[in-house]
Amino acid sequence: MELTAEEIRVLGVLMEKEATTPDHYPMSTNALTNACNQKTSRDPVVDYDQHTVSSTMLLLRPAGLARTVISGRTEKHRHVMDEALGLDHGEVALLAVLMLRGPQTPGELRTRTERAHGFESVDEVESVLAALADRSEPLVRNLGRGPGQSQDRWLHLLGDAAALTQAAQAGERVQTSAEAPSSTGLEARVAELERRISALEAELGL
């Protein structure tokens, strides 16, 4: 399955809000747009208009992944990912967070799915991820450990798997580069310190 970035965001929001704000679900186009554009718990942050969201729903409905109903004079939207892919509540919760926030460790996923589904342990999260990865059409992939992390990171595969993996690895390289100074930078720092020490010794007559 290769969904567009817009389809992933819209579906991820519908999956999240069904569990976390059931009183306001299904969602109106306006509410769905605002939720897609949240500044928190979203990576990347986007700025969709209602036309983008409505157009995305036009693609998701015939694909059997979402539905729209009329409530009064308002369209309300809901996902049917659980029906389409045979997912339980825990699997939906994990996929939603991965779709909305990118690659994460089982520990991060357990914390970030607390409102949607209470996993008893990190081991349980890892077990569900492994099951999603072992499907005939895998829905997640283990990326290995990122810099300074003690757990493997996991990535959803609902979009272009190769592009998603490359983007995740590119982000990891940028983070590593920002965190660790290069050998050239270290040499420059050492040279500057030696210069300052020499100047100080000369001033003190040492």
Residue-wise pLDDT tens digits, 150-201: 899 999 999 976 566 655 655 554 444 445 444 555 666 666 666 667 666 6
Separation CA 133–CA 126 (nearest Å): 10
What are phi and psi for residue 78, nearest 5 degrees?
-145, 155
State pLDDT tens for residues 7-23.
999 999 999 999 999 99
pLDDT at 160: 77
Percent of all residues in the chain with a pLDDT value above 70, rounded to a whole number: 78
- The dihedral formed by the CA atoms of 188, 189, 193 and 195, expressed in degrees to the nearest 10: 20
Separation CA 186–CA 158 (nearest Å): 42
Whether 42 shows a pLDDT value over 70: the answer reads yes
CATH domain 1-86 topology: Arc Repressor Mutant, subunit A (1.10.10)
Whether 108 shows a pLDDT value over 90: the answer reads yes
CATH domain 90-180 topology: Arc Repressor Mutant, subunit A (1.10.10)
Q: How confident is the model at residue 72 (pLDDT cuts 50, 70, 90)?
A: confident
What are phi and psi for residue 27, nearest 5 degrees?
-110, 140
Q: What residues have CB less than 8 Å from 102, skipping those under 6 apart? A: 43, 155, 168, 171
Residue ranges of domains in the chain: 1-86, 90-180
Fold match between 1-86 and 90-180? yes
